[in-house]
Amino acid sequence: MIQEIVARFQQKHRTMRYPDGAPPPLPDRFRGRPVVDPARCVTGCHACEAACPTGALSAASPGVFDLGKCLFCPACAAACPHQAISWSANYQLAARERADLVVPREREAIDIKRAALDGALRKLLGRSLKLRQVSAGGCNACEADSNVLTTVGWDLSRFGIQFVASPRHADGLLVTGPVSQNMALALKKTYDALSEPRIVIAVGACAISGGVFAGSPEVGDGASSVVPVDLYIPGCPPHPLTILDGLLRLIGRIST
């Protein structure tokens, strides 16, 4: 026991101070909001669009990125002969509306002002938010990065946000995965077990749009095909900081 106490004093303060302090440093390989340099991009090239595995860059919608479909993979950047595509360090990617994830290619930021719950919901859930996590056919990447938030370094519970075992004890769902046919009914029953008011958070490209599985007869192309979604957090998987930022904006703990 003495050894444990000594080790704890040696470790000192381990929980990050974000959002009251600076966010934790991101690794060099971190890929945030993708950006296209219009000075380098050649109209009519379409190399990046052909390389995108999910249609996040589409010739049908020139000039925009669909971050809800984006896997944040380097396929488009590698295919671009003019090196027009780069990755910013912007981790603030969550949005309340699905349409807000379809953004101009040259902008580094998206509109996050609408991320907070409105009125009575924010007053009710802003200080205590219990979430039931549902893996609806996910690969466990988004699940793992969500679970990281419960560790001592992130300590999600200090904001009053906790994952609970039963939807009967939850205010909302955090959904990952593309919602396979075998999980669609389970997701709907879990949602129905929540008491009103209830919210749904879709985490990751699969939960938002179906990801690489979109259009497959075995999946429902994301959580919104089964339940209404109140917050979209893009990524494959989203960095824990992106998830935390989205959750804190949802409950009004961050407004800028």
Q: What is the pLDDT of residues 12-35, one digit of tens each?
A: 667 888 999 999 999 999 999 988
The whole-number average pLDDT for the span 227-231 is 96
Q: Inform me whether the pLDDT recorded for 111 exceeds 90.
A: no
Q: What is the mean pLDDT of the chain?
A: 90
Give the model's confidence band at 103: pLDDT under 50 very low, under 70 low, under 90 confident, else very high: confident
The whole-number average pLDDT for the span 136-147 is 96
Strands 34-36 and 85-87, sheet pairing:
antiparallel
**Vertex 33, ends 32 and 38: CA angle to 5°?**
135
pTM listed for this prediction: 0.91
Give residue 110's pLDDT: 61
Give residue 256's pLDDT: 66
Q: What is the pLDDT of residues 125-136, one digit of tens each?
A: 888 999 999 999
Give residue 138's pLDDT: 93
- Domain extents for the chain? 114-250
Give residue 224's pLDDT: 96
Q: Inform me whether the pLDDT recorded for 112 exceeds 60.
A: no
Q: What is the pLDDT of residues 216-225, one digit of tens each?
A: 999 988 999 9
Write the class of the CATH domain 114-250. alpha beta
